[in-house]
Structure 1
């Protein structure tokens, strides 16, 4: 079954003469059949994601075929949503009778995350050694030999090396990569010598161009390589300790956002994650509709060989490969006048009418395609009826759908199971249509796909017509026609889901429709505007750059030449040393933030080395001229540094913390006053203080009013500045008026004193 299997003897980790290796346990794998997301709704309300067809083959087949080919002997398939469908599919498939390859299912109806799944697997005590952790929507043709060997050798030397993450370098620009897969940007920091993962951050674009690294990351590592050109393949080699770590930490839910990032910042236990980079092999995960489209095209173009339709589709569904990447089943009926374009798959027992054009699409089995139909860049699943004169562009059409004559699907449309589109109806762009009503409560992406269903009724057959969908579909179609929405026309059956508030961006990012040209331009311009800076030499590191003491080195490009598409990252992050303070500071994408860091370094050095205030003023003035800063920026940076010094002082109560503030202000007030030349600078101090209390120094929040009074008493902030600050906040949102309300009594006293003075 599936791809060609390699002999287990080819796995390097099993060729050792070590007695412990000779007494090895079978190589095991955990396959998560749930994605624990809602990105494939409404489809996944009726069928589990791993059983959705990818080039006419259920996704889980690709994952199991790969695991078998790399020498895995035992696979535990963990399933929650629609677990019965997954279990029945596997039991009726050849996988349950494969020699030297056992597949067992573990069902749970209470797990709502990958963390819950791994905790349950730990309780079952079925994993007895290193194992492969993979999601059922992941596809790869890589060899595991070297990665397994590296993982086990590291584990022998360091018992804390508990995980190896497979990654792949992208030669595309971050903008192109995101638009190709619909994913968020990924930023990694890796030790170039040991390949240890040091930093992992998703979604950096939505941070609006700001990314900060802990200074200790660079202090503790002599050199690191920075990447935003890496793709996480979601294939992990794990030691058994990974399961126990999930059990010991119940706040670990998401594999990346919680577990990986949790281990990277945990300096107590000392567990480590390493990376293994693949080069010529393929690995990707179907995360959303856009990546579904992209990976389908990669399969058709044979980047995933041997995981391709003519190898995986066997038996009565046998498919032959023709010129221009056309895969055609042997038993189809096609009109002579029909045109089948390149990169197209046609399933078994499908009928295609006169003058119909199909290109860059996948057609399932048992479909009836009428005459004068245009299908472009679309995915038509099984037993679909498309009547004469229909047009489908960049859409997904699930099993049993009926499109009546003249109907049109605009780009990005998803029609779930058994939907009926009325005659001459045009379904709007990005619409999602289902026989199920749209859930009134939108789940977070961590919740189960069946969260809105009251039952988990299995589909009658994955290959069949799905007579039973779930408890909400017990009425027959004749009853549903009476409640059809007007958008689907006369005889239409189904509901068009509305786009959720705040989800408009996700629609085009995750859709299989091409990214609108204006969105690509907007995305590129936004990134360029936010990240428009360079280092002091006029250059910046490429998308993969190694940082070492002494400066910034050029990236080590895989092909020997810098990739011009990496221009975005070339503006993203630059590092430099503060020689005086012997520390490394990231430039936060603009002069102001970098200036603040330099002032902080100067101030801390002055504290530790007892530098006189006059000398500190000279150094700050030098930085001010160098960065072309105003007095307000100097005052804000100095005040920030003073409070950071306070927070670094041990204290046991609010009273002790306030006393520490008094001591620091008394010691350094002359330095701060040197840059308080007017009301604007004084207001900057209040705003900086307010920002710190809200974000980085919440310990000072209860003391906001007392410290504000202290600054007033010391003649550092005037009455006019404080009242103007209050006035500026008058029409602000409630969340921005927290400290105004806290200081209300003090503000009232100032207003009354001002009136009396007048």
Structure 2
């Protein structure tokens, strides 16, 4: 044994001993990760018939690059990328990227051509004998900026005490809509039972039948402290012990990570393996499971929730775009006509040109696109090398590489155009249509089956159509028949096939689409929603508010405050979408009602957060002077007055709004501190707050400390005028 330089000596012999740090360094295993570069799902068809999901551009960067960048920044040293469907494309992308050249960060690909699920993938990796300790398990469609240190520390400390603690799942707060029973990512409502003391996961169920959760009575008796959640999001980031791989090797019926493996371990009394949770709060983590989560995560990236994984930071070897006013990002060499209008929260990739009088808002446009004159693009995703001719209207759609959209075309909400599709002149593509050069598979695969088509170029070569048929074991038309059918389905001169929607799957189309859920569908779900019933095998488990105090999370005032702050943020996010996507008043009210129900709040609790959202948004509109800021506020109050007044049925809510404004002036939005009188007068003039509310607020402030009377003194002239007017009115009545 070699002594550590400068180490301590023992006894009179003076023999040097190695410190604990040195021993640990010698025995330390590099932190490893397994990245699954195959989704084993079909939710992104027809796009993923031609390109793997992990290479689809997310705000103009392939998804897998976000995942690898996060793993590197979080301290992972070795990543094993498992490739199956379109494996050649994934390997070629990694070969041409920077990932094989990073210091202290190795990427190794493992290829398989016959794995039908995550279980097969993990069994193959187990056989390779490359994992030497605890590892991170993640899919290549996961976006995160969370540090791993705390979760790893918890996992390792548990392992020292209990070898059966083989996995730690990362979760975060995500209240589902009581209307759709889905999260903002479009995933089904998730029910978890967690021990609040140990954080052990006791139960896991997605979209419980009829809102019923069945928990074994032995689980309840063994864990008197249990909290049943439907407000957690599974981030699909797992810290695993090596036993996880051996468990898959021993159970060949385990294919899906959650439906089979997770539930299998929770139901297995023999092995005694345990799963724990680690909840993140300030960090971001989300998995792109469907088109709706693709839309949601894209917006989160643009709005910088994922920092430093944002468009204006140069990452992954990609050229950063420049962040401009109001959240607009512009790549190099963009050619904008002087009359073109680029709205907020929009990304325009390098080399793209935009013609006269065209408008792009709340969208992502890729590289080298050609957009003609008088084109309107709103809430959409236009990938690379797309041509959009004059007079087209595109709203809440997704358009893949190489697509040509002829003049006068309208893409209705929810449309997906796969690679190199051509839409004929003046054609209207119906809402939620999926258009591809590939014929729709005759047999609908389950979401665990492979997408067998493999085309390494990433786009369809018409001449290889018969080869594609062999791979899919499907019957396809001859080339001439395909061309004729394509022309008839997407207009004169068009090339593409419109896929049909199978019976019973219409709801899934709008649940998982990039387009907002239609108001009529929301209303139907809202009126037909049933109350949640939680059951176990012997009877009812009472809701959390009726359980013993030690069996639920703390109900302290601090927790309630944090909960309301979360609600306030959600209301702002809802209002932000309403402004950017020009939602109708009734639809906004419906969405806010859904939020308040999920937080178990009253309608009266919404006035303050909604007013806060309006005032906060006014600050983002840009202003060169205080008077311009007041104009911003006035225009927003005029537009959203009906929505705000809906939640202000009494004087109490009006006073709440004044107090919320007072709080903003003193704390979160001090730009308003010198404008308190002007905007309070504006609220009065627009009948948002009445004379009685202002006078009652002033009366309540009379006994306050002098430091709390700053804004009261600023409003003295208005208060005095209201008092005199009130007295004159009383005299006239007498």
TM-score with structure 2 length normalisation?
0.70
Mapped contact 1:226–1:546 kept (Cα < 8 A): no
Mapped contact 1:190–1:226 kept (Cα < 8 A): yes
Which residue is equivalent to 2:203? 199
Structure 1 residues 298, 354: closer, same or farther in 2, change over 3 A?
same
Measure the CA separation in 1 of the matches of 2:419 and 2:119.
Answer: 31
Mapped contact 1:394–1:410 kept (Cα < 8 A): yes
Match of 1:360 among 358, 362, 372: 362
Structure 1 residues 469, 386: closer, same or farther in 2, change over 3 A?
farther
Mapped contact 1:59–1:137 kept (Cα < 8 A): yes
> Shift of residue 211 of structure 1?
1.9
Whether 2:567 is the aligned partner of 1:567: answer no
Whether 2:176 is the aligned partner of 1:178: answer no
Measure the CA separation in 2 of the matches of 1:201 and 1:280.
Answer: 26
Which residue is equivalent to 1:459? 457
Structure 1 residues 35, 547: closer, same or farther in 2, change over 3 A?
farther
Return 5+ residue gaps in structure 1 as ranges: 1-14, 534-538, 572-758
Whether 2:129 is the aligned partner of 1:129: answer no
Structure 1 residues 219, 531: closer, same or farther in 2, change over 3 A?
closer
- DSSP-derived class of the 2:213 partner: coil
Encode CA deviations 1:424-466: one digit per residue, 9 max, x unaligned. Answer: 000000000000000000000010122xx3xx331169xxx98
Which residue is equivalent to 1:280? 282
> Shift of residue 229 of structure 1?
0.3
> Shift of residue 73 of structure 1?
0.6
Measure the CA separation in 2 of the matches of 1:16 and 1:342.
Answer: 55
- DSSP-derived class of the 1:222 partner: coil
Which residue is equivalent to 1:713? none
Encode CA deviations 1:281-310: one digit per residue, 9 max, x unaligned. Answer: 000000000000000000000000000111
Aligned residues: 541
Encode CA deviations 1:316-349: one digit per residue, 9 max, x unaligned. Answer: 7331011111110121111000000000000111
Measure the CA separation in 1 of the matches of 2:378 and 2:449.
Answer: 34
- Structure 1 residues 667-686: aligned runs within 5 Å: none
Mapped contact 1:541–1:553 kept (Cα < 8 A): no
Which residue is equivalent to 2:722? none
Whether 2:337 is the aligned partner of 1:341: answer no
Mapped contact 2:51–2:455 kept (Cα < 8 A): no
Measure the CA separation in 1 of the matches of 2:264 and 2:318.
Answer: 49
Which residue is equivalent to 1:41? 45
Mapped contact 2:97–2:317 kept (Cα < 8 A): no
Measure the CA separation in 2 of the matches of 1:492 and 1:363.
Answer: 22
> Shift of residue 500 of structure 1?
1.3
- DSSP-derived class of the 2:218 partner: helix
Mapped contact 1:179–1:509 kept (Cα < 8 A): no
Which residue is equivalent to 1:232? 234
Encode CA deviations 1:678-735: one digit per residue, 9 max, x unaligned. Answer: xxxxxxxxxxxxxxxxxxxxxxxxxxxxxxxxxxxxxxxxxxxxxxxxxxxxxxxxxx
Which residue is equivalent to 1:213? 215
Match of 2:151 among 147, 152, 162: 147
- DSSP-derived class of the 2:486 partner: coil
Which residue is equivalent to 1:742? none
TM-score with structure 1 length normalisation?
0.68
Measure the CA separation in 2 of the matches of 1:16 and 1:59.
Answer: 41
Mapped contact 1:430–1:511 kept (Cα < 8 A): yes
Structure 1 residues 114, 351: closer, same or farther in 2, change over 3 A?
same
Larger Rg: 1
- Structure 1 residues 258-277: aligned runs within 5 Å: 258-277=260-279
Structure 1 residues 529, 241: closer, same or farther in 2, change over 3 A?
closer
Name the Cα RMSD after superposition: 2.9
Which residue is equivalent to 1:119? 123
> Shift of residue 24 of structure 1?
1.2
- DSSP-derived class of the 1:29 partner: strand
- DSSP-derived class of the 1:211 partner: strand
- DSSP-derived class of the 1:201 partner: strand
Structure 1 residues 121, 570: closer, same or farther in 2, change over 3 A?
same
Measure the CA separation in 1 of the matches of 2:599 and 2:463.
Answer: 50
Mapped contact 1:166–1:234 kept (Cα < 8 A): yes
Which residue is equivalent to 2:30? 26
Mapped contact 1:224–1:546 kept (Cα < 8 A): no
Measure the CA separation in 1 of the matches of 2:501 and 2:173.
Answer: 34
Whether 2:434 is the aligned partner of 1:472: answer no
> Shift of residue 482 of structure 1?
2.9
Structure 1 residues 553, 38: closer, same or farther in 2, change over 3 A?
closer
Measure the CA separation in 1 of the matches of 2:103 and 2:353.
Answer: 38
> Shift of residue 521 of structure 1?
2.2
Which residue is equivalent to 1:489? 491
> Shift of residue 179 of structure 1?
5.5
Measure the CA separation in 2 of the matches of 1:473 and 1:99.
Answer: 43
> Shift of residue 72 of structure 1?
0.5
Structure 1 residues 393, 196: closer, same or farther in 2, change over 3 A?
same
Mapped contact 2:33–2:135 kept (Cα < 8 A): yes
- DSSP-derived class of the 1:168 partner: strand
Measure the CA separation in 2 of the matches of 1:340 and 1:261.
Answer: 48
Measure the CA separation in 2 of the matches of 1:411 and 1:16.
Answer: 62
Which residue is equivalent to 2:723? none
> Shift of residue 21 of structure 1?
6.2
Which residue is equivalent to 2:519? 517
Mapped contact 1:228–1:569 kept (Cα < 8 A): no
Measure the CA separation in 2 of the matches of 1:324 and 1:508.
Answer: 29
Which residue is equivalent to 2:57? 53
Mapped contact 1:40–1:288 kept (Cα < 8 A): yes
Measure the CA separation in 2 of the matches of 1:417 and 1:243.
Answer: 37
Encode CA deviations 1:544-603: one digit per residue, 9 max, x unaligned. Answer: x694488877756474456694635869xxxxxxxxxxxxxxxxxxxxxxxxxxxxxxxx
Mapped contact 1:34–1:81 kept (Cα < 8 A): yes
Mapped contact 2:136–2:238 kept (Cα < 8 A): yes
Which residue is equivalent to 1:418? 420
Which residue is equivalent to 2:102? 98
Structure 1 residues 119, 315: closer, same or farther in 2, change over 3 A?
closer
Mapped contact 1:457–1:468 kept (Cα < 8 A): no
Mapped contact 1:546–1:552 kept (Cα < 8 A): no
> Shift of residue 25 of structure 1?
1.1
Measure the CA separation in 2 of the matches of 1:551 and 1:249.
Answer: 34
Match of 1:109 among 109, 113, 137: 113
